[in-house]
């Protein structure tokens, strides 16, 4: 570990950037050293903090160019409630952490299970934020207009990215937005995710890694404002603050990796976390392979009306009924989308075996789930088990059949998209 002098340019630039943003003038460093006066580009700061190798400033989009909304992040976009309780404030350790200092080592405290994944500068913390690029979220009953579900660490392109703890790689590849991602499942059941890596990853699904094992290198894949690592940690499907875990040197603990029933399920596709919304690209993809999909005209019509990806709707129909308009399940679910009679009536369906009526109602019902949860896996869980089961579980219910259902639909969706590529 180098001394405070090596991070001085970083801290100086952080102070200058925060002043431009209207943020706090005192950027906290890892060792508590106050930032001295000075100048220099963000690229220079990263080069100093990492020992060189940063690209030229013109080639490195600076993180301070991210559009930030005006006003404090703990109140922006909040609907309902009369102030944050202790529970409300539990998720974010510090609201709107724009800059929290430089990381000058990947070492952890003596005897720790967890190491830092990359050497660089924290450019965005976990929790509510005024960065308008981040999506909305509802956490502990409070709605935030913009919420960052991970920790961003700015570092020069090519910087080594390492596993924060021992575990098994459950995914290594490209996400739908183009980001190269590695996910590692740890012994305590938690999962760490590393995004925006370079395409040539150093691991593949199924590999066993130790704390500090090389996973890949910082890149510019996916939607990113500059070279950085986006780190997420989830426990039972819920995002937690990675910075707390890194500082503690310990995994968050929790339930064992395998859910009850021994299914040991994990999503086969990153699409499980996507929002499933209709886009011009998704419509074009559907049209390229529509001739191979039964009821393609009716599925396209229903998906466009509901605002969802028609390939996702086709995947749901394939899993639910095998494209059989006259299908009836042992529980009494009817038609292509397997609507229960009471649900069909509530959606105005007069003939559940009519493909057009059934598809439009099923698409509308599923689209509402997507709007509520913002994730495909949760929307599918609610479609399969009901919203009450999702609420009671605080996520995807821990039923092997539900996990297999989500896995199957996401697999169909992946195959359709690959065929359309």
Catalytic residue numbers?
320
Report the length, in residues, of the chain. Answer: 421
- Both structure tokens of 390: 């999702």
Is 395 in contact with 272 (CB distance < 8 Å)? no
Place of tokens 């509802």: 138
CA-CA-CA-CA torsion sign (52, 57, 61, 64): positive
Task: Give the count of alpha carbons within 13 A of 259, CB side only.
Answer: 18
The CA distance from 124 to 96, in Å, is 8
- Both structure tokens of 46: 């990263």
Helix (H) or strand (E) holding 415: helix 400-420
Place of tokens 């690029």: 133
CA distances, 104 to each of 37, 52, 156 (Å)? 19, 13, 13
CA distances, 71 to each of 136, 145, 357 (Å)? 16, 12, 46
Instruction: Count other C-beta atoms under 10 Å from residue 2's C-beta.
Output: 11
The CA distance from 302 to 321, in Å, is 16
The CA distance from 169 to 167, in Å, is 7
């Amino acid at each position: 570990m180098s001394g405070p002098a090596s991070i001085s340019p970083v801290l100086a630039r952080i102070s200058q950037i925060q002043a431009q943003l209207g943020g706090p003038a005192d950027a906290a460093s890892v060792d508590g050293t106050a930032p001295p006066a000075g100048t220099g580009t963000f690229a220079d700061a990263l080069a100093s903090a990492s020992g060189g190798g940063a690209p030229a400033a013109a080639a490195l989009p600076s993180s301070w160019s991210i559009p930030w909304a005006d006003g404090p992040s703990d109140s922006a976009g909040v609907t309902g409630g009369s102030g944050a309780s202790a529970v409300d404030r539990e998720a974010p350790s510090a609201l709107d952490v724009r800059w929290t200092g430089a990381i000058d080592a990947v070492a952890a405290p003596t005897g720790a299970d967890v190491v830092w994944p990359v050497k660089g500068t924290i450019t965005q913390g976990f929790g509510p934020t005024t960065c308008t690029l981040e999506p909305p979220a509802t956490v502990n009953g409070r709605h935030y207009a913009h919420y960052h579900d991970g920790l961003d660490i700015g570092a020069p392109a090519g910087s080594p990215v390492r596993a924060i703890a021992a575990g098994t790689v459950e995914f290594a590849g490209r996400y739908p937005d183009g980001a190269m991602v590695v996910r590692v499942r740890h012994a305590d059941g938690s999962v760490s995710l590393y995004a925006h890596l370079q395409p040539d990853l150093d691991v593949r699904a199924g590999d066993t890694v130790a704390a500090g094992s090389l996973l890949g290198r910082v890149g510019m894949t996916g939607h990113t404002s500059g070279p950085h690592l986006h780190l997420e940690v989830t426990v039972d499907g819920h995002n937690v603050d990675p910075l707390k875990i890194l500082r503690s040197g310990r995994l968050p603990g929790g339930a064992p990796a395998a859910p009850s029933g021994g299914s040991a399920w994990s999503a086969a596709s990153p699409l499980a976390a996507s929002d499933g919304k209709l886009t011009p690209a998704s419509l074009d993809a559907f049209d390229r392979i529509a001739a191979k999909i039964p009821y393609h005209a009716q599925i396209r019509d229903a998906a466009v009306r509901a605002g969802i990806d028609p390939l996702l709707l086709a995947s749901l129909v394939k899993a639910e009924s095998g494209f059989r308009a006259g299908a009836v399940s042992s529980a009494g679910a009817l038609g292509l989308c397997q609507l229960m009679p009471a649900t069909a009536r509530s959606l105005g369906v007069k003939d559940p075996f009519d493909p057009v009526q059934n598809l439009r109602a099923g698409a509308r019902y599923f689209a509402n789930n997507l709007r509520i949860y913002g994730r495909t896996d949760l929307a599918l869980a609610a479609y399969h088990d009901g919203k009450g089961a999702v609420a009671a579980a605080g996520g995807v219910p821990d039923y092997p059949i539900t996990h297999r259902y989500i896995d199957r639909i996401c697999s169909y969706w992946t195959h359709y998209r690959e065929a359309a590529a």
